[in-house]
Amino acid sequence: MRGSASGLLTYFRLQGKRILRLLPAILLVTAVLAGAVLLVGRSFFLSDAGSDSRKSVRIGIVGDYDDPMLSLALTALKNLDTSRFAVSLEPMEENAAVSNLRQGKLQAYIVIPEGFYDSVNYYRNDVQITYVSTDGAVGIGTVMINEIAQAVGALLLESENAVFGMQSYASDHFSDRFTPQEISDLGVQMTMRYGSAVFSRDALFRIHETGLADSLSFRGYYICAFILLFLLLSAIPFSPLHADRDDSLFRLLRLRGISPLAQVFAEYLAFAFTVLLFMLPALAAGGLLIGAAGLSVPEFGASAVREMLSLFPACVFAVLTVCGFQFLLYEVFSGAVPGILIQVLTALSAAYITGCFYPAGYFPERMQAAAEFLPAGTARILLENRLLGISGGKAVLRALLWTLLCLLLAALTRRIRMKAASGLLFRDERRSEG
C-alpha cells in the first residue's frame, strides 16, 4: 500500500513535470484564450445586442421624399409614434440601405415605391411596400423585427379594409346624404382616427418596472457565461498531453502498483490544478478590462478586479467538474483528431445549451433544467450563485459528484483498454500469484 502511495505521488510529480515542460505553451494559450474571450466579451457588450437592449433597432426608409404623404408619415412616425424609443427610422437612398444592411448597421429597410399612397387610397394595393431584411439566421433581433413587420402589415390591411367597409356602407345606404367627395373625405377622417389610435397605443398600457431583485443583470449573467466558455475551451491546449495515450506506459505503471484509478487521479489533479492556476490571472485580466472599458456591472462594487477575483472560490469547483468531464472525454476518445474534435464538439454544444451564447432562458424549460444538471450547467450555477452571494450547497455537491463519476468512468475506461490491449499480461500475473 505504501509502495502504491509513493508510486502515486511520484506519478503525480511526473505529470506535474510534463505539464511544466509545456508551461510556456500553456501560459501562452491561456493568455491568447483569455484575450480572445475578453475581445468577444468587449465586442458583445459594446454591440447593439449586448448593450442591454436599451438601444433601438435601426430601420432604413427608402422612398420618394418629395411625396408629401410620405414625408408627413415619416415625420409623424419619427416624432409622434412611441416606437421611436424602440425603432429608429432613417431615411436614405436604396444603395446606402443595401450597403448598411449588409454591413449590419441596419436590421432592415423599407422601400415605399412611388404611387403607394394612391394605390392604397384607391384600394388597388397594386403597389406594395417592400420590407427587406437579411437572412433571419444572423440575429434574434432581426427575427423579432420581422415578426413585428408581419403584424404591422396585418394591422395596416385591417385598417384599410375597415375604411373601405365604412365607405361602402355610406355608398350603399347614404348615397342621398353624402356625395362621392364627402365619402372620400370620411375615409380620410376615419384613417386619421385609426392613425391617432395607433400613435397613442402606449397609453393603453401602464408599465411597472420591478427591478432585478434576486436575479442577475444582463452583464452579470454574461460575465459568468464567458468564464464558463473560457473553462470549456481550456482543455484543448492540453491535447498534446492527453489526446495521444501511451497504453504501454499505463501497463508499466500498473505493474509498478499504480492502479488505473490512481493513474487517472494523478493525471487529473495535475490537469485541474494547472487550469485552476491560470484562472487567477484570467479573472484579474477580465476585471482590468471591465474597469478600463468603463462597463458598469450592477453586481460589482467599486473594484472590478476584486469582484472578479472573488469568483475564484466558485471557480475551484467549476474547474473540478468541467476538467473531470474533459478528462473523461480524452480517455474515451483516443487519438489526436478525435481527441481534439470531441473537446471542440462538446465545448461548443455545452456552451450553447448552458447559455453561454443565447441566454439559458431562450431554451425550453425542461432543456434548461437538464442543462443545469450537467457539469457545464453546474459550473455556471456555481459562478452565478457566487456573484449573487447565494451559498448554493447543492451545486457544490453536484459538482463534486460529477467529478467523482467522471474520474471513475475514466479509470474504468483505462482499465478496459489496458485489458483489451494486453489480456495476456494480466493472465500471467494471476498465474504467478496463484
Applying the rule CB under 8 A, the residues between 192 and 211 that interact with another protein are: 193-194, 196-197, 200-211
176 binds another protein (CB under 8 A): no
Q: Which of 73, 78, 117, 123 binds another protein (CB under 8 A)?
A: 123
13 binds another protein (CB under 8 A): no
Instruction: Tell me the CA distances in angstroms from 425 to 8, 371, 416, 428, one per residue in order.
Output: 21, 42, 13, 5
Instruction: Please identify which residue in the block is written with the cell numbers 385591417.
Output: 158
The three cell numbers locating residue 179: 356625395
CB 55 within 8 A of CB 306: no
Report the nearest approach of another protein to the CB of residue 111 (Å). Answer: 9
User: What is the amino acid identity at position 304?
Assistant: A
Bridge-partner residues for 62, per DSSP?
Answer: 111
Give the range of 60-68, 279-287, 310-318, 326-334 binding another protein by CB under 8 A.
Answer: 326-334
CB 318 within 8 A of CB 379: yes
H/E element, 424: helix 423-433
Give the range of 70-78, 143-151, 252-260, 279-287 binding another protein by CB under 8 A.
Answer: 143-151
Report the nearest approach of another protein to the CB of residue 198 (Å). Answer: 8
Environment class of residue 17 by beta-carbon count within 10 Å: exposed (0-12), middle (13-18) or buried (19+)?
exposed
412 binds another protein (CB under 8 A): no
Report the nearest approach of another protein to the CB of residue 136 (Å). Answer: 6
Between 166 and 400, CB nearer to another protein = 166
Q: Which of 130, 175, 296, 303 binds another protein (CB under 8 A)?
A: 130
- Which among 238, 232, 242, 231 has a CA at the least distance from the CA of 349? 232
Region of residue 106 (phi > 0: left; psi between -120 and 50: alpha; otherwise: beta): beta
Q: Which of 249, 252, 280, 367 binds another protein (CB under 8 A)?
A: 367
Give the range of 236-244, 253-261, 307-315, 408-416 binding another protein by CB under 8 A.
Answer: 236-244
233 binds another protein (CB under 8 A): yes
Give the whole-angstrom CA distance, residue 397 versus residue 383: 14
- Which among 239, 237, 307, 216 has a CA at the least distance from the CA of 34? 237
Give the range of 9-17, 72-80, 116-124, 376-384 binding another protein by CB under 8 A.
Answer: 116-124
Q: Which of 2, 68, 181, 337 binds another protein (CB under 8 A)?
A: 337
Q: Which of 117, 273, 352, 426 binds another protein (CB under 8 A)?
A: 352
Could you give the angle at the alpha carbon of 263 between the alpha carbons of 259 and 264, nearest 5°? 115
Q: Which of 80, 293, 340, 408 binds another protein (CB under 8 A)?
A: 340
147 binds another protein (CB under 8 A): yes
Instruction: Tell me the CA distances in angstroms from 349 to 204, 352, 373, 381, one per residue in order.
Output: 43, 5, 15, 17
Q: Which of 8, 57, 382, 383 binds another protein (CB under 8 A)?
A: 57
Give the whole-angstrom CA distance, residue 378 versus residue 398: 7
Q: Which 3-state string (H, E, C) describes 312-344?
A: HHHHHHHHHHHHHHHHHHHHHCCCHHHHHHHHH
Q: Which of 5, 76, 138, 421 binds another protein (CB under 8 A)?
A: 138
Report the nearest approach of another protein to the CB of residue 53 (Å). Answer: 4
- Which among 123, 130, 131 has a CA at the least distance from the CA of 160? 123
CB 293 within 8 A of CB 42: yes
Report the nearest approach of another protein to the CB of residue 123 (Å). Answer: 4
Between 154 and 252, CB nearer to another protein = 154
Binding mask 25-54 for another protein (x = CB under 8 A): x--xx--xx-xxx-xx--xx-xx-x--xxx
Report the nearest approach of another protein to the CB of residue 9 (Å). Answer: 27
Report the nearest approach of another protein to the CB of residue 173 (Å). Answer: 7
161 binds another protein (CB under 8 A): yes
260 binds another protein (CB under 8 A): no
- The number of residues that bind another protein (CB under 8 A) is 138
Report the nearest approach of another protein to the CB of residue 5 (Å). Answer: 33
Give the range of 228-236, 254-262, 286-294, 422-430 binding another protein by CB under 8 A.
Answer: 228-236
Report the nearest approach of another protein to the CB of residue 304 (Å). Answer: 21
CB 115 within 8 A of CB 69: no
Enter the DSSP assignment of 357.
S
